[in-house]
Amino acid sequence: MTETDPTPPPGVITVFSDIWCSFAHIAIHRLHSTRERLGLTGQVRFDLRAFPLELLNDAPSPRSGTDSEVGRMGQQEPAAGWQLWQDKEYLFPSTTLPALEAVIAAKAQSLAAAEQLDRALRRAFWAESRCISNRKVIMDAATATGVVDTAALAEALDDGRARRALSADAAISATERINCSPHLFLPDGTDYANPGIEVRWEGDYGVGWPVVTHDDPTVFSELLKRAAN
């Protein structure tokens, strides 16, 4: 795999996504839970790449948009963790770039460290109403994983060493190669945009709500098994 070719090596699934994305929250949860159920945690890792919606859309994600998704998407995968935003309005994150950068920085330690930080940050936002654009929230999430070297992560965030990789991910996300968040790539060269879920919108984003027309969580078993071979 290179910066421009997202096809991973055997035993890895590349995942382009944003933490703001409810569909990615579902996909990441299903990847983790299915991998554990299949006993493939030691055989398949996730290479988490950024699909920064705010850069692609030239605007931050509105609270009205994420709030409109919680009730509907939460029904598809309750165990992922959801709630309507509970903290003060001004604490709703205006950006996910610091969180995405932190996940990329954690990959320098290991894919496993990045996986755990990414999952902790998703839960912090979707299930705990925490401002994931805030450095302390990011560092608290890293500490809670028990696997991220927080001193090394803080140093990486201080000198911005992961920022170039974040920009590279944004550049490839803007091409036709990456369709949406989440978009998964397997070692055999196949790829799957928002696997298992088909959805349409009733009304405009932030005003209407998503309507799920198809949802098949079982597809993740097949994807993980193929990545392990």
Integer CA distances (angstroms), 144 to 21, 40, 137, 156, 181, in order? 22, 23, 10, 18, 26
Token pair recorded at residue 91? 């604490």
- Domain residue spans of the chain: 12-228
- The pLDDT of residue 2 is 54
From the list 59, 147, 70, 155, the residue with the least C-alpha distance to 105 is 155
Backbone angles phi and psi of 87, in degrees to 5: -85, 180
pLDDT per residue as tens, the chain (229 positions): 555 789 999 999 999 999 999 999 999 999 999 999 999 999 999 999 999 999 999 999 888 989 999 988 999 999 999 999 999 999 999 999 999 999 999 999 999 999 999 999 999 999 999 999 999 999 999 999 999 999 999 999 999 999 999 999 999 999 999 999 999 999 999 999 999 999 998 988 888 889 999 999 999 999 999 999 8
Angle between helices 111-126 and 22-38 (to 10 degrees): 130
Token pair recorded at residue 17? 């996504």
Domain spanning 12-228: CATH superfamily: Glutaredoxin (3.40.30.10)
Residues 171-218: pLDDT tens digits? 999 999 999 999 999 999 999 999 999 999 898 888 888 999 999 999
Global pTM exceeds 0.85: yes
Integer CA distances (angstroms), 64 to 17, 54, 181, in order? 20, 15, 18
Count of residues for the chain? 229
